Amino acid sequence: MFNFFHNSNIFIWIEKLINFINSIFFVLLLVALSFALIFSPPDYLQGDSVRIMYVHVPAAWIGLASFTVIAFLSIINFIFKIKNLTLIAKSIAPIGLLFTCVAIVTGSIWGQPTWGTFWAWDARITSMVILAIFYLFFILTHKYLLEESKANNVSSLIAIVGLINIPIVKYSVEWWATLHQPASIKISGTSSIHSSMLMPLLLMFFVLILYCALIFLMKYKTEIIRIKKKNLKRI
């Protein structure tokens, strides 16, 4: 049983998964993009600029979800010191940061035609920037703290403090008056987004999750190779 979790076994599985995702990713991306950019209707109010949503919303979800995963892994890690979980948390961080930045940048681009401004220091946008900063600190501790156990402890604590920011991002639009509109898709209750636009949104989300998984697996693979090559820090 525990043999399965041995690094070389994981390595083989990562290889297989990467190949599998690679084989379906581009086809799915084309399908999702054509639904998002061509087949889905424009919005009654915003017209075609609503199409930015199909990248913006999934990117923000992934940014938030990745950090939540990192934070929970960090909690387990801090208490039980499981080597593999450290590697996983470390490997998720870059792609999470990327998607958080994508969400901020696309949001800014979307803000200009709809709100009339690129930037507003409202609660949602500010808390999203803080999330990106937490990602950055998490990654930098691993880069600059050379002693590994220390780096793990510090980065775990950063992720755990950052976890508090996640509900703030999520509920910022309900707790405070913000320029950003409230959530359209609710976990319970009906969504205020029409199904013809919800479908491409979920499709894009699925494709971007696949991309996220792909980058994560590649990074994870690199970390395992590094251990195999006796802690070679840079290639």
Partner 1 sequence: MLPKKVKKRASLLAIFLLASVLGVFLILNTLNKNILYFNSPTDIKISQDINYNKKIRIGGMVKKNTLEINNEEIKFIITDFKNEISVSFKGTIPNLFAEGKGVVAEGMLKDKRFFEADRILAKHDENYMPPELKNILSDNAK
Among 29, 109, 157, 209, binds partner 1 (CB under 8 A): 157
Query: In this chain, which of 16, 194, 228, 229 binds partner 1, going by CB under 8 A?
Result: 194
Question: 172-177 long-range CB contacts below 8 Å, 24 or more apart?
Answer: 172/122, 172/123, 172/124, 172/127, 173/123, 173/124, 175/123, 176/122, 176/123
Contacting partner 1 within 28-87 (CB under 8 A): 41-46, 50, 53, 75, 78-80
Interface stretch with partner 1, choices 59-67, 87-95, 98-106, 159-167 (CB under 8 A): 159-167
- In angstroms, give the least distance from the CB of 122 to partner 1: 4
Would you call 43 helix, strand, or coil by DSSP? strand
Nearer Cβ to partner 1 (13/175) = 175
Q: Which residues of 60-86 are buried (b: 16+ CB within 10 A; e: fewer)?
A: bbbbbbbbbbbbebbeebeeeeeebbb
Q: Which residues bind partner 1 (CB under 8 A)?
A: 41-46, 50, 53, 75, 78-80, 113-117, 120-123, 157, 160-161, 164, 168, 176-179, 181-184, 192-194, 196-197
